[in-house]
Amino acid sequence: MSAEFGQFAAEAASPATGATVSVHGLAHRYGELTAIERLDLEVPPGRVLGLVGPSGCGKSTLLELIAGLREPSGGAIEVAGGGSAAERLAQCAFMPQRDLLLPWLSAIDNAALALRNRGVRRGAAREEAGRLFERFGLAGFERARPAELSGGMRQRVAFLRTLVAGKPVLALDEPFAALDAITRAEMQGWLAAALRADPRTVVLVSHDVEEALYLADRVAVLSARPGRVVEQLDTPAPRAPDRDAAVTAPEFVAARERAMAALHRGSR
């Protein structure tokens, strides 16, 4: 384990804050097409792993495999020691690329979906989700319909919906891809703060190297199809409170160049 992980050692020690995700010799095929081949990854509890790679390298497939939404063609994935898709599904909360908030529900009812699905009564579910609205700067927007919210706000609600599920592992599929550059930078700072306050094990897919390097403790660069890990690098200032300063620091720029070089190697 690298020294950079040390900053979050205290939180990582608590079992409530995450579970280990491990991927060994993973392979996945769609018919004739090999999407993923001989892939190994390990995410310790409470850590954030960023996955970057060229389009079509199978990053989203990998995320769905980890989250228990698919069974792999070969190899093993374990989340908190559970290997079957159902066991992984029980441990992971998946956040898709688009917010996909249900337009007929208010923001708070969207956020409380997982609780409602588990049979929690509406009032209690709203109360629990409402506490997170207070904590994460969404107070006052509880009763707004998704159509009344800005893109960034919708993405916040979608993230809270994932968080409220109360699972140790979050699987985030390019959560900010649909946002404009300024909102995206804002949301990265917001997500970093949220994860500092409520640490989980996170697997974050991104097409934005800078985003992955800022939010993750470690970034795995995947190759073009069939997806394999080209390089893993530890990040210099994961989720640092001052995002703008962090991403312009010399170590960060160096890390980005290394990641870009790995991306180019893997794209060939």
Partner 1 sequence: MRRVLLPIVALAALVALWQVAASSGLLAEAFNVESFLVPSPAEIASALWENRALIAENAWVTLQEILLGFLCGLAVGLAFGFLLRPFETLRLSFHPLIVGSQAIPIIVFAPILVVWFGYGIGPKLAVVALVCFFPIAVATADGLRSVDPEAAKMMRSLDASRSQLLWRLEAPSALPFTFSGAKIGVTFAPIAAVFGEWVGADSGLGHLILQDNAQLETARVFAAAFVLSAMAIALYGLLALAERRVVTWR
Applying CB under 8 A, the residues found at the interface with partner 1 are 64, 67-69, 89-90, 92-98, 100, 102-104, 113-114, 116-118, 145-147, 161, 165, 171
Q: Decide whether 116 or 135 has the Cβ nearer to partner 1.
A: 116
Compute the least distance from the CB of residue 69 to partner 1, in Å: 5
Min CB(93)–partner 1 separation in Å: 6
Q: Which residues pair with 82 in a beta bridge?
A: 79
Q: Considering beta carbons, is residue 113 or 259 the nearer one to partner 1?
A: 113
Q: Compare residues 106 and 223 and give the one whose CB is closer to partner 1.
A: 106
- Of 96 and 152, the one with the shorter C-beta distance to partner 1 is 96
Min. distance of Cβ 136 from partner 1 in angstroms? 18
At its nearest, how many Å lie between partner 1 and the CB of residue 92? Answer: 7
Of the pair 53, 146, the CB lying nearest partner 1 is at 146
From the CB of 95, what's the least distance to partner 1, in Å?
Answer: 7
